[in-house]
Amino acid sequence: MSENVVSKKTITIPEVKTILEKIDEPNQFQLRTLDYANKFSKLEPEKASELVDKIVNVFEIDRLDAVQIVNCMPSSIEELRPFFVASRKKIIMTTRLSELLKLINKYRQ
């Protein structure tokens, strides 16, 4: 079975969960991925997508980095800082990280 890729988009774990739940007869790989998504989803899919968009637009962070932040939902500046050290794209001031953390906390379940 050959399928053509129509588009690519980085999505959050909750969004993966939603997609996999719609598959009528998932294969073993899809079932394992769904199990992972069930265990590690930290938000509802709509909220996760909304938070990613806000992080990208308000804080001008790459979508890939924003998705990783939402997947992990860091709860402190110390947990948030490695997302920016690893990318070496920007140095973000502690005050800005604090603002980002406040936004994340608004979405925390």
Give the CATH number of the domain where residue 39 resides.
Answer: 1.20.1250.40
Would residue 51 count as lying in a domain? yes
Would residue 22 count as lying in a domain? yes
**Side chain identity, residue 35:** D
The whole-number pLDDT of residue 35 equals 97
Would residue 5 count as lying in a domain? no
Q: Which domain holds residue 67?
A: 11-109
The whole-number pLDDT of residue 28 equals 97
pLDDT along the chain (109 residues), means of 10: 78 96 96 97 96 96 95 96 71 88 93
The whole-number pLDDT of residue 3 equals 72
Ranges of H-type helices in 22-93: 28-40, 45-59, 63-72, 77-80, 82-85
Count up the domains in the chain and report the number: 1
